[in-house]
Amino acid sequence: MNHPLLFRTPTGGRVDRSRTLRFTFDGQAYQGYAGDTLASALLAHGVHLMGRSFKYHRPRGLLAAGAEEPNALVAVIRDAARRTPNLRATQVELYDGLIAESQNRWPSLAFDVGAINDFLSPLFPAGFYYKTFMWPRQAWHRVFEPVVRQAAGLGEPPTLPDPDRYAQRYAHCDVLVVGAGPAGLAAALAASAGGGRVVLCDEQPELGGALLDEPASSLGASINGQPASRWLADAVATLSARPNVTLLPRTTCFGYFAHNMLSLNQRLTEHLAAPAPQAPRERLWQVRAREVVLATGAIERPLVFPGNDRPGMLLASAARSLLNRHGVKVGSRVVLVTGCDAAYITALELQAAGVTVVRILDTRPAAAEHVTRAALAAGLMVSANVTVLGTSGRRRVTGLTLARLAATGEVSDRESLACDTVLMSGGYTPTVHLFSQSRGQLRFDAAQQVFVPGVSAEREHSAGACRGTDGLRSTLDEGAAVGAAAAFAAGSRGVLASYTVQALEGSLRGQPGVLPQPGSHPPARAFVDFQNDVTSKDLALAMREGFESVEHIKRYTTNGMATDQGKTSNMNALGFVAKSKAITVPQAGLTTFRMPYTPVTFGSLAGYDRGDLFDPVRPTPSHDWAVAHGVVFEDVGLWKRARYFPRDGEDMHAAVDRECLAVRASVGLFDASTLGKIAVVGPDAATFLNRLYVNNFSTLAVGKCRYGILTREDGFVYDDGVIARLADEHFHVTTTTGGAARVLQMMEDYLQTEWSDLQVWLTSTTEQWAVIAVQGPKAREVLAPLVSGLNLSASELPHMALAHGHLGDIPMLLMRVSFTGELGYEINVPSGHGQRAWEMVWAAGQAYGMTPYGTEAMHVLRAEKGYVIVGQETDGTATPDDAGLSWAIAKSKADFVGKRSLARPTMLATGRKQLVGLRTVDPRLVLEEGAQVAATPNQKVPMRLIGHVTSSYHSAVLGHSIALAMVADGRARIGQTLYVPMPEGEIPVTVTTTVFYDTAGARLHD
Amino acid sequence: MLLIHCPYCGQRPELEFRHGGQAHVARPADPSATSIDEWADYLYLRENPKGLHAERWRHVHGCGRFFNALRDTTTDVFVSTYRCGEPRPDGGSAR
Amino acid sequence: MINLASAGLVAAPESRRWVLRGHAVAMAAAGAAFGSPLPTRAGEVAQAASSIADTARAALWLGPDEVWFITPVEDGAALEGALRTALAAVPHALVDISHRQVGLLLQGTDPAWLLNAVCPLDLSLAAFPVNCCTRTLFNKAEIVLWRTGPAAFRLETGRSFSGYVVGLLAEIAREQAA
């Protein structure tokens, strides 16, 4: 222990002095108390240096005490995978054994090589990134960007997968109250008293907000005659006891979305030394609230003067919070620079705690009389009308130079003060982030010089300091009034309350901007945005270079960007811009408040959607069987489909060749259950399908199937599939696997919105049926002994016929259809019987050398027959004729979806791409799918390309490669030689018809 | 996430719905009788108003019904939702 | 292995299910065969005695022209026969979805809490009372939810989605245990 606890008060604060916690920062051991933050515990040791700035690597200490902290960003490390960067030390709750590291420094925080940037800073003006590294272009990726990223940046993310669990939750309530300070507590009490559902969330570990900063001593405020801390404890106890109230501490409301949906990030285990392995680390809440109460408080602004960023220079509110919550003194000799009355209270409390307050420097002619009087009565020295010309000290502030500022802008009476701490207060900015996210209109309050909520866009009410309300009693009363009103608006009952308060308080008002300096250019940098190292000079430069809009100035200078989003800097920048241009603040405009309010982990947003639960995995009925038989799966949408079944170390190529040959020579078994299925039932079923599909279904006999093509209204192929007529008024429509949902959607659309007079209804039956395809010359012999009551002969059950029967004891719809060109059947059984039916067929097939095959072989087998796959041969711009399917169109029909478009001149013009076959001269050469096709060889770039390869495989049964391609006027080019240009050289190909195998189609009808 | 009033089920979360494009675009009774321009208009031309827009939604993960809605595209406020076949409640242009 | 019991989860008894779609006249005819008028209000569930002692049939309103029938498998033939007879002369679609769906019963201490981890509906008793039903989403899976008691739900999901739904429920239940 190198650092004694010199800066801890002997008593007081809300920390538990009976529980000592050990921790390390940059390898150095320290100790703190339960209830400390990392920041307060370090400060108790006098450690202010906690980070290096983003661009200049300047030493930085704590500025604030809450979410607005821009400087003290640290990494907290639990193990190799649990390294959380960019945490604000002010929000890191201490636990025993905590390990934290500073960021953006090398080799150490105290000695940072990158600090050379600080001395080279004239080289890094605003717009640095836009002006530099323009040439040579290649160097950007290889040299400049890596170097810049290394030198300027925030913390490092962990490299291992996140081992933690994250939870999510939807919730509904009558009133959501954001912020549990005095306004939020009063609102929650009022809103919940009548029984309405109330959720109260606060980002801090303890509910209370600003009330937690009240001293327990007689200096502190009292509410309804009780000390504030007593009232707070009672209020929290009352709320906890109400079953209709959900209290969410450690929960940041970070996003306000449409229709009163708000996102909350709850930290569940971050504060624990040893979280239970079961416990989720964080929980994302999505709360739908009838009414929302925003009680998000206000954030103090720093003052902008040269050298305002040294370690030991803090917001006055931070010093007060550290003293009263944590029993920590920010320093020994404090100078307060303020343009705001509220900071006087801090000075008084520090003095009472034994800290030397060297002087109060007020930038205004005078403070309010009552705070001045209190300060003088306590023996404090106050200088008014001053500005700060500069500060000294590198790793800790050592002194400050002030001067008297005349109304003319002249400075006089320069004076230097020695100190180890400078407190700053430029007044408070209402926290309107969530209000603004909700698209509420902000209003500029000229008296307070801040933006406050104007017109709400949602059912929302703001209360307290976030609305510009000043004073504890007003805040409590307003919270109660708004809470009761919100409950009433939500349809429940609220109970109004009014409060009495006794306190010495100072107004939160101040003047945003930059402290006036003699001369046009201050001698040293005055920081506006601490996190992004933006100075008043940078802003001035941006304006000089012609950036008018504050949105442009923000992007050019990076003011208000990154994780901090300008919580402490936006108003000062605006004030400066407005003053420089001699316009009002609202004329200068306001940048957009974006979510999240503070950074949210990816884990929280991902929630349950990771690993095995990332997406539903849809298994087919043969899934377990396939796994037992060594399947390799393919993801098709959410389905797991068998891709191929390798044997004895086969690669995919060998397995697919074997599977294809088995189907051609004997019999194969294939799970086609994923095909979409829709029951189209009703008296107008045939009429409905006639209007949708290009085919004619009136002429389809009961017991027969037909291959159907569906185009969209634009005439392009949308889906295809076999459609079976089970009864006069009952069609069994199949779709592609991927098209199942969208075809049903399209059908419902036409039925509900265009043809609602039709008496026909749709039901998805995709999952009702398991579909087992038995394909190959031996298919009939395999099935015959299994089916009862059916004659499978070609005359009784020809190609495209169907029959009802039983497979063993399982009821079955048997369709004689083929996507292989072989004799084939598709057995439909209720899916709960699917696995058993599969195993029955498999057992029966053993005598015939039955081979299971997957999607890969299926693709080859159908390509050998020239059967198209929608989405592979077609791409959303192919008509049925382009795909060689015009034979399916019922020309006699007056109308069907797409018919009008197919009559457009461009659909009939020459030059359209048409489906053809391609043969390579070298039979072993398999073209690449997607390869382009050229009419003539040896073209120069840019070539004139006339088509592309859509499917390409090695065909084992043919002994050569085959390909399908869409080629301009392809059918007129059959016999021609075309060229496929590839990086390795041009491949000559011959155009053929699309059918490569069994061109007569005899095998289909065996 | 928007909160959408399904005319059949009441207020439900947006997740349960699918947007269906502009409302009141009727398919011509006899497409073959339309001119090429009329057909192109039906197929491709849609409004993109700033303000009230009549649009279709389907409560796809609920009752499955298509219905129409008047939504303000600048604020996402639903002024009204109504069943297919009913006229646009504000009397606005229905092509 | 997933511990369903700890999630208060059991598989529903084997059931038969049909979707009936049609106009009011079909619904009226089917109600007579079902044994009680079919639900006509959004999210309503009607129940009637099944042909098997001590069991009930249920009819769930899932859309203005869509009602689901769910009944124990032993009652299946009786119910289907009665429905087909009653509907013979009325335009309608009655489609068997017995195997399309998988049913789960949730009856732990707070099943609404389990569901609300990923289901975006308000499942408080006031908003979603006993014998209320709806189609909705359970994260990335579509489900049908039927509240059978103050702390009991029947959840129906597509067969191929059931592994996902059960796995996710179990994951959420671990959190409840933590």
CATH number at residue A735: 3.30.70.1400
Element spanning A98, H or E? strand A98-102
CATH number, position A187 = 3.50.50.60
Average pLDDT over residues A824-853: 98
Structure tokens at A319: 């010093």
Q: Which of A397, A426, A455 is the last residue of a domain?
A: A426
Domain identity same for A89 and A75: yes
pLDDT digits (tens, 9 = 90+) for A341-394: 999 999 999 999 999 999 999 999 999 999 999 999 999 999 999 999 999 998
Q: Cβ contacts (< 8 Å) between A197 and chain C: which residues?
A: 124
Q: Tell me how far CA of residue C80 lies from CA of A961, C33, C35, C52, C86, in angstroms.
A: 54, 9, 12, 14, 10
| Spatial contact of A721 and A736, defined as CB atoms under 8 Å apart | yes
Helix, strand counts (H, E) of chain C = 4, 10
How far is A472 from A453, CA to CA, in rounded Å?
A: 19
Domain identity same for A38 and A94: yes
Average pLDDT over residues A283-293: 98
Q: How far is B53 from chain C (nearest CA, A)?
A: 26
Residue A129's pLDDT is 63
In a domain, residue A124? The reply is yes
pLDDT digits (tens, 9 = 90+) for A752-763: 999 999 999 999
In a domain, residue A955? The reply is no
Domains of chain C, by residue range, sit at 5-12+100-177, 16-96
Domain identity same for A490 and A543: no
Q: What is chain A's mean pLDDT, rounded? A: 94
Q: Where are the beta strands (DSSP E) in A662-818?
A: 668-671, 676-681, 705-711, 717-727, 730-735, 761-764, 769-775, 787-788, 802-807, 810-815
Q: Does B1 touch chain A (CB under 8 A)?
A: yes
Do C175 and A169 lie within an 8 Å CB cutoff? no
Would you say residue A165 has pLDDT above 50?
yes
Q: What is the DSSP letter of A958?
A: T
Q: Does C74 touch chain B (CB under 8 A)?
A: no
Residue A409's pLDDT is 81
Residue A12: name the closest of A284, A218, A196, A291 by CA.
A218
- Is the Cα dihedral B24, B25, B27, B32 positive or negative? positive
| Spatial contact of A782 and A691, defined as CB atoms under 8 Å apart | no
Residue A478: name the closest of A252, A184, A833, A149 by CA.
A184
Residue A114's pLDDT is 73
In a domain, residue A810? The reply is no
Domain identity same for A194 and A288: yes
Do A165 and C175 lie within an 8 Å CB cutoff? yes
Do C121 and B12 lie within an 8 Å CB cutoff? yes
Count the Cβ atoms, other than its own, within 10 Å of residue A112.
20
Residue A528: name the closest of A480, A561, A496 by CA.
A561
Q: Cβ contacts (< 8 Å) between B63 and chain C: which residues?
A: 42, 62-64, 66, 135
How far is A663 from A820, CA to CA, in rounded Å?
A: 8
User: CB within 8 A of A110, min separation 6: which ones?
Assistant: A49, A395
Which of A169, A199, A608 has the most C C-beta neighbours within 10 Å, making it the best mutation to test the interface with C? A608
Residue C1's pLDDT is 39
Residue A683's pLDDT is 98
Q: Does C55 touch chain A (CB under 8 A)?
A: no
Domain identity same for A418 and A455: no
Do C160 and A767 lie within an 8 Å CB cutoff? yes
Residue A65: name the closest of A29, A16, A27, A14 by CA.
A14
In a domain, residue A788? The reply is no
Domain identity same for A293 and A370: no
Q: Tell me how far CA of residue C23 lies from CA of A257, A922, C66, in angstroms.
A: 39, 64, 9
Q: What is the DSSP letter of A440?
A: P
Do A259 and B1 lie within an 8 Å CB cutoff? yes
Q: Regarding predicted confidence, which is higher, A150 or A951?
A: A951
| Spatial contact of B11 and B57, defined as CB atoms under 8 Å apart | no
Do A767 and C159 lie within an 8 Å CB cutoff? yes
Specify the 3-state DSSP secondary structure of A344: helix
CATH number, position A555 = 1.10.10.1100
Q: How far is A431 from chain C (nearest CA, A)?
A: 29
Residue A125: name the closest of A55, A229, A45, A62 by CA.
A55
Residue A589's pLDDT is 85
How far is A307 from B62, CA to CA, in rounded Å?
A: 61
Domain identity same for A456 and A357: no
Closest by Cβ to A752, choosing from B31, B43, B65:
B65
Residue A2's pLDDT is 44
Residues in chain B with pLDDT values less than 70: 93-95
Residue A126's pLDDT is 74
- Chain B's closest residue to C140, CA to CA, is B15
Residue A915's pLDDT is 98
Task: Say yes or no: ipTM exceeds 0.90.
Answer: yes
How far is C173 from A677, CA to CA, in rounded Å?
A: 35
Would you say residue A541 has pLDDT above 50?
yes
CATH number, position A20 = 3.10.20.440
In a domain, residue A713? The reply is yes
What percentage of chain A has pLDDT greater than the value 70?
A: 96
Full pLDDT tens readout for chain C, 178 residues:
345 666 678 999 999 999 999 999 999 999 999 999 999 999 999 999 999 999 999 999 999 999 999 999 999 999 999 999 999 999 999 999 999 999 999 998 899 999 999 999 999 999 999 999 999 999 999 999 999 999 999 999 999 999 999 999 999 998 877 6
Closest by Cβ to A900, choosing from B26, B31, B60:
B31
- Show the domains of chain B with their CATH numbers: 3-25+37-83 (3.30.2270.10)
- The amino acid sitting at A13 is G
Structural domains in chain A (count): 5
Structure tokens at A396: 């800790």
- Chain A's closest residue to C17, CA to CA, is A768
Structure tokens at C92: 């309608």
Structure tokens at B3: 């909160």
Residue B90's pLDDT is 86
Do C164 and A168 lie within an 8 Å CB cutoff? no
How confident is residue A562, by pLDDT bands cut at 50, 70 and 90?
confident
Element spanning A747, H or E? helix A740-753
Q: Cβ contacts (< 8 Å) between C121 and chain B: which residues?
A: 12-13
Residue A143's pLDDT is 67
- Chain B's closest residue to C42, CA to CA, is B9
CATH fold of C5-12+100-177 reads Gyrase A; domain 2 (3.30.1360)
Closest by Cβ to B84, choosing from A752, A895, A905:
A752
Closest by Cβ to B85, choosing from A439, A457, A756:
A756
Which of A713, A753, A904 has the most B C-beta neighbours within 10 Å, making it the best mutation to test the interface with B? A753
In a domain, residue A670? The reply is no
pLDDT digits (tens, 9 = 90+) for A930-952: 999 999 999 999 999 999 999 99
How far is A969 from A951, CA to CA, in rounded Å?
A: 18
In a domain, residue A725? The reply is yes
Helix axes A855-864, A652-665, angle to 10 degrees: 60
Do A894 and B85 lie within an 8 Å CB cutoff? no
Instruction: Using CB atoms within 10 Å of the CB of residue A94, give its burial: 0 to 12 exposed, 13 to 18 middle, 19+ buried.
Output: buried
Do B39 and A904 lie within an 8 Å CB cutoff? yes
Q: Does B37 touch chain A (CB under 8 A)?
A: no
- Chain C's closest residue to A673, CA to CA, is C160
Domain identity same for A259 and A324: no
Domain of A567 in residue numbering reads as 519-586
Domain identity same for A247 and A315: no
Average pLDDT over residues A503-526: 86
Do B63 and C62 lie within an 8 Å CB cutoff? yes
How far is B76 from C10, CA to CA, in rounded Å?
A: 42
Q: Cβ contacts (< 8 Å) between C101 and chain A: which residues?
A: 767
Q: Cβ contacts (< 8 Å) between C62 and chain B: which residues?
A: 63-64
Point out which residues pair with A804 in neighbouring strands: A813
Closest by Cβ to A830, choosing from C98, C165, C171:
C98
Q: What is the DSSP letter of A141?
A: I
Domain identity same for A735 and A716: yes
Q: Does B84 touch chain A (CB under 8 A)?
A: yes
Least confident of A51-55, A707-711, A893-897, C11-15: A51-55
Q: Does B85 touch chain A (CB under 8 A)?
A: yes
Do B61 and C137 lie within an 8 Å CB cutoff? yes
Do A288 and B26 lie within an 8 Å CB cutoff? no
Q: Which of A536, A565, A586 is the last residue of a domain?
A: A586
pLDDT digits (tens, 9 = 90+) for A497-506: 999 999 999 9
Residue A360: name the closest of A374, A373, A344 by CA.
A344
Specify the 3-state DSSP secondary structure of A935: coil
Pairs across A and C, CB distance < 8 A: 117
Least confident of A99-113, A320-334, A733-747, C81-95: A99-113
Do B20 and A749 lie within an 8 Å CB cutoff? yes
Specify the 3-state DSSP secondary structure of A393: coil
Residue A146's pLDDT is 65
pLDDT digits (tens, 9 = 90+) for A841-850: 999 999 999 9
Domain identity same for A730 and A679: yes
- The amino acid sitting at A849 is G
How confident is residue A135, by pLDDT bands cut at 50, 70 and 90?
low
| Spatial contact of A505 and A428, defined as CB atoms under 8 Å apart | no
Structure tokens at A889: 């169109």
Q: Which of A586, A603, A638 is the last residue of a domain?
A: A586
Do C142 and B65 lie within an 8 Å CB cutoff? no
CATH fold of C16-96 reads Alpha-Beta Plaits (3.30.70)
Q: Does B60 touch chain A (CB under 8 A)?
A: yes
- Chain B's closest residue to A714, CA to CA, is B43
Domain identity same for A547 and A694: no
Q: How far is A754 from chain B (nearest CA, A)?
A: 7
Do A830 and C99 lie within an 8 Å CB cutoff? yes
Q: Cβ contacts (< 8 Å) between A260 and chain B: which residues?
A: 3
Which of A460, A609, A744, A752 has the most B C-beta neighbours within 10 Å, making it the best mutation to test the interface with B? A752
Q: Cβ contacts (< 8 Å) between B83 and chain C: which residues?
A: none
